[in-house]
Amino acid sequence: MPAETPAAAWQDGWLKSARAVPSPNHGPRPKDARIDLLVLHSISLPPGRYGGPEIEQLFCNQLDWDAHPYFAGLRGLEVSSHFLIRRDGALLQFVSCDDRAWHAGRSCWRGRDNCNDDSIGIELEGLEGWSFAPAQYQALALLCQALARRYAIAHVAGHEHVAPGRKADPGPGFDWARLREALRWPQECFPSATLEQRNPAVDGSDPGQSVPQGAGSAAAMQ
């Protein structure tokens, strides 16, 4: 069979191969938004526990705040991400990529503030700083390729890079070299030297500005 065309793989910003779990936590992008950034996150609820329904419940405003002591700090939080990749590589989508999900919060990359406006958020089920499963890297590479065929993706960064000091995910356990090797995208698409966990954008200079135009705690995502 011929490879599926980009148009056939998508419907209104939804990737047909992902399990759709629509979240109410989204909004329109600015009219002039150029969707060219992938922001990678990590999340587990409660921290370090995998496979349960809590992440989906959080993104859909259905989490029982009293079910675990950790959830008290998340009470009333309204957040979302476009995608979630489970430990076994299963792919879920919560928000159309044509819409603005609430994942990056206060952020800056490639000379632009408010990364939610023109980025796609990808959550990896995992604990900040810990390693991720081989199936997740495989699913992530396939997802990045599908997104690049549909949108003008030119940059991949971690939440730690676009919100330095405030966020630290996916953290040192994420293998950036593995993702670069799988994608075969230019080094310029990624944080330089994986950015040493710091982005001088808070001081007024953004390493992302040098990239030619053409990847944690849920409590502060929005």
Backbone dihedral region for residue 11 (phi beyond 0: left; psi -120 to 50: alpha; all else: beta): beta
Q: Cα(220)–Cα(217) distance, rounded to whole angstroms?
A: 7
How much is the pLDDT for 4?
A: 53
154 lies in which domain range?
31-195+211-220
107 within domain boundaries: yes
How much is the pLDDT for 198?
A: 37
Q: Are 37 and 157 in contact (CB under 8 A)?
A: yes
150 within domain boundaries: yes
How much is the pLDDT for 8?
A: 83
Q: Containing H/E element for 160? A: helix 159-162
Total domain count for the chain?
1
203 within domain boundaries: no
Instruction: Give residue for tokens 């997104």.
Output: 147
Q: Are 131 and 90 in contact (CB under 8 A)?
A: no
204 within domain boundaries: no
Length of the chain: 222
Task: DSSP letter for 38, please.
Answer: E
Tens digits of residue pLDDT in 67-81: 999 999 999 999 999
List, by residue number, the catalytic residues: 123
pTM of the model: 0.86
Tens digits of residue pLDDT in 109-139: 999 999 999 999 999 999 998 999 999 999 9
φ/ψ of residue 49, rounded to 5? -105, 130
Q: Are 218 and 43 in contact (CB under 8 A)?
A: yes
3 within domain boundaries: no
44 within domain boundaries: yes
Q: Are 29 and 94 in contact (CB under 8 A)?
A: no
| Closest among 82, 85, 191 to 138, alpha carbons compared | 85
SS3 per residue for 79-118:
CCCCEEECCCCCEEECCCCCCEECCCCCCEECCEECHHHH
CATH number of the structural domain spanning residue 177: 3.40.80.10
The residues facing 84 across adjacent strands are: 92, 123
123 within domain boundaries: yes
How much is the pLDDT for 58?
A: 98
**Degrees to nearest 5, angle at CA 27 with 72 and 145:** 95
pLDDT in tens, the chain (222 residues): 334 556 689 999 999 999 999 999 999 999 999 999 999 999 999 999 999 999 999 999 999 999 999 999 999 999 999 999 999 999 999 999 999 999 999 999 999 999 999 999 999 999 998 999 999 999 999 999 999 999 999 999 999 999 999 999 999 999 999 999 999 999 999 998 454 443 333 232 223 322 222 233 443 354
2 within domain boundaries: no
Q: Cα(95)–Cα(116) distance, rounded to whole angstroms?
A: 12
